[in-house]
Amino acid sequence: MKERPSFPARIDFSGSPVKSRAPSARATLIASSPIKTPGAQLASGLGLDSSAVRLNMVKKLAAQGITDNAVLDAMRVVERHRFVDSALVGQAYEDTSLPIGLGQTISKPGVVSRMIELLRQGSKSKLGRVLEIGTGCGYQAAVLSQLSDEVYSIERLRGLHDKARENLRHLRQPNLHLLFGDGMEGYAAGAPYAAIIAAAGGEAVPQAWIDQLAIGGRLVAPVSAGANSPGKQALVVIDKTPQGCKQTVLEAVHFVPLKSGLA
């Protein structure tokens, strides 16, 4: 892989065209440091910062069929309650999506672990360079940073980009880079990527993502199920080989819509 680009950097929109192009934007790099433990408590009185709370969530994920121990370990380490609004912390370790503002949500732990497990393809080692489309509140990026050599996470909504930056500031993950820009365009300056994961679903996977995926890489994203199933989405896995791309359609999912432009 090529060397990491210097920062600040500008998102390169000179690559392959995709639908609904947006103006280029300056990318923002964030490095963070360890999060301090607040005094939030579950209704049972068990502190949200307790490893037992997360271990219970992980046991449920394993019961649902997640078998990748590295993924389960990362889900146990990253404290989800730090990425949700204070009014919702009591639901942080339930397998449910929660609102994070601006019409967006933090995905269910089951969905996060499922998609990252698919991304890893059963590998015993860390992923290489990963591109995440849709940073949101930063939770999935934090999990990915535990399992990857390097993570670039891009968000088109300034409010959420700033929220993720604050949420991740004290994590001190030098391999995690937050970018403010149009995720439809990917981030060509960091390509090629060993893996790409999307937290929003469109009518099709943008060509820019395919172009930026390395040979031998894998992309996991929700995609519209088509005209016969309006409003429905399916999880899609795309493997890029020297002979071309192989697409596998999996289970039905529900994600926020993929949009272009900055807001």
Interval 110-133: pLDDT, tens: 999 999 999 999 999 999 999 999
- pLDDT: which is higher, 8 or 212: 212
pLDDT of residue 226: 75
Query: What whole-number distance in Å separates Cα of residue 162 and Cα of residue 141?
Result: 14
Helix (H) or strand (E) holding 150: strand 148-155
Torsion of CA 10, 15, 19, 21, to 10 degrees: 30
- 64 to each of 57, 80, 120, 236, 237, how far by Cα in Å? 11, 19, 18, 19, 20
pLDDT at 23: 34
Name the percent of the chain lying above pLDDT 90: 77
pLDDT tens string 153-206: 999 999 999 999 999 998 899 999 999 999 999 999 999 999 999 999 999 999
What pLDDT does residue 227 have?
A: 65
Given a cut of 80, is residue 27 above it in pLDDT? no
pLDDT score of 25 = 37
Q: Quote the CA–CA distance of 138 and 110 in Å, as a whole number.
A: 16
pLDDT in tens, 58-94: 999 999 999 999 999 999 999 999 999 999 999 999 9
Which CATH number applies to 26-34+107-253: 3.50.50.60, 3.40.50.150, 1.10.645.10, 1.10.10.60? 3.40.50.150
**pLDDT digits over 130-145, tens only?**
999 999 999 999 999 9
**Residues with catalytic function:** 107
**29, 177 in Cβ contact below 8 A?**
yes
How sure is the predictor about 234, in pLDDT bands with cuts at 50, 70 and 90? very high
18 confidence band (pLDDT: 50, 70, 90):
very low
Domain boundaries, the chain: 26-34+107-253
Q: For residue 109, is pLDDT > 80?
A: yes
Average pLDDT, the chain: 85
What's residue 51's pLDDT?
A: 86
Distance CA 175, CA 177 (A): 7
